[in-house]
Amino acid sequence: MKQIYQKIKDWYNQNLDTYIKNGDVLMEDKLDKFLKYIPTNGKILDIGSGTGRDVNYFNQKNYQGFGIDFSYKMVSFARKILNLDRIFLMNMVDLKFENNYFDGVWDSSSLF
């Protein structure tokens, strides 16, 4: 299983520009449906946050968006370009947060 994680991580680290051009799509309708279940100003963890697109959306909607991704290129982009400070280099199988810290968890593609 670790080999597949490494291959995926390598792809994102090597293809950030391709991902931004072709795969970085905001799914507002799905995000808005999800947000109906989260208290205003609630904390949301975006697993596999990539470029920080969805974390940024949560923040704009008055939620506290946090993101994790295991691609250092994606995390660097989110921190630098979107100025997001709650984006962390982390693998979803080894979370470093307290239990029950978040009001919701969003994962648009990492588990599918």
Buried b vs exposed e over 31-56: b needs ≥16 C-beta within 10 Å?
beebbeebeeebbbbbbbbbbbbbbb
Q: What pLDDT, on a 0 to 100 scale, did the predictor assign at position 111?
A: 62
What's the chain's average pLDDT?
88
Model confidence at 16: pLDDT above 80:
no
> Which pLDDT score is estimated for 1?
55
At 48-75, the pLDDT tens digits run: 898 899 999 999 999 999 999 999 998 9
What is the pLDDT averaged over residues 27-32? 92
Count of Cβ atoms closer than 10 Å to residue 71 Cβ: 24
Question: For 100-111, what is each residue's pLDDT tens digit?
Answer: 999 999 998 676
Q: Which residues pair with 47 in a beta bridge?
A: 68
Q: What is the pTM of this model?
A: 0.84
